[in-house]
Structure 1
Amino acid sequence: MCRWMPPIAGLRPDLAATGTAHARRPPLPSAASLCLACLTLFLVAGTALGGCPPGVAHDPLQVLSRGVNWTLERHARSYNYLEGDVRLRRLYSANKFFLYIDKTGKVDGTRRKNYAESLMEIRSVSVGVVAIKSVSTGLYLAMSKKGTLFGSVKYSPNCKFKERIEENGYNTYASLRWKHGGRQMFVSLNGRGKPRRGHKARRRHPSTHFLPMVPS
């Protein structure tokens, strides 16, 4: 005798006759599963080409949860001047003078390229802020409240300058501590190589522009 089979709901009549085997087809993968699989393949390919960046987890779920932090950490490492960085340079002004500090603490400019007192140690004390010290005399470049440049025996807040690379490739150095009428006061040498008062200098003046030259 023939055995009665209940109809399979949702199937066409021609498929229902084939039995329950087709009714038990495995479900299609979800969109989330496909995304996770693609990410896993991406990480495997990256590892074959050199691995993940330091500090980044290999677990796809951890990478997804830490994606934003990874971007911020990479950006933080892109700063040019980090605390503790030290450079030996001669500050050559756009007016063609080398800035120097003599033994008496006088700040001036010279056209002599290898003048001993013009060799400076530029140390980054924080991001974008430097201290400038004469290697020969051991004095720090400092600016008073009135904008006067002088050589200081001791390192103090007067010796901190904000170092900025301008659009023309020159650097400017503005006092971190002092301002005049809300305006920044800059390290400056005029056309005769003499220091100008900080409040008389402006960022766009050639007298405030310096090239940190590597000593030869």
Structure 2
Amino acid sequence: MSKLFSDDYKSFEIDDKIEIIDLDSVSNFSELRQKMGKLTCEGKSSGLRFKSNDTIYHLIGFANCPSSVEIGCYFRRNLLFVRNDSLVIEYGKSKKKKSITFLKAELNEIISKTYNFQYNENKLKPALIHFYVEDKYPIETTKRTLKEIVRQFKEINSQNGSDYFRYNILFEGFDITNIPPSPPPPKPNEFDNEKK
């Protein structure tokens, strides 16, 4: 049986602050997120392991600690949104869902734009993948989707170097693609004009 590791897995393993969660030990995404959140509260990273066909996949996942009031800073990233087994493209009324198999095309689109690269380097800004799966889906949906993410990034990095396009998967407790955009500022009314 072959093993496939995400590029950052080995470095986390060396730091010895990793706890392995076998995806076959959980029944759905919420249960997985709870375990990951607990590890985050303990100062540990979540190493995720699962089998698919003849390969054992190993990757790092991140989830917020439920009792923490800290807010993560994710600026200067290439953002991707995955819901269930679909890639969510664009926002608001133009929002579209595409099969996770479309990820390869989306990554190639990111690579084709120079502003997605780090300044003066032949490396892309890291990707942050916001990942959410509804509980009505079995853990198999999570495994299939993670498998595609790991494989596509592995393919790109094996051709260009392991630091070329780094990524993190943030396991979300809700679907952030359903958060409506903020409303536009109020229009000035006639009373505001009279005050001037």
Greater C-alpha radius of gyration? 1
TM-score, length-normalised on structure 2?
0.21
From the two aligned structures, give the one with the greater helix fraction: 2
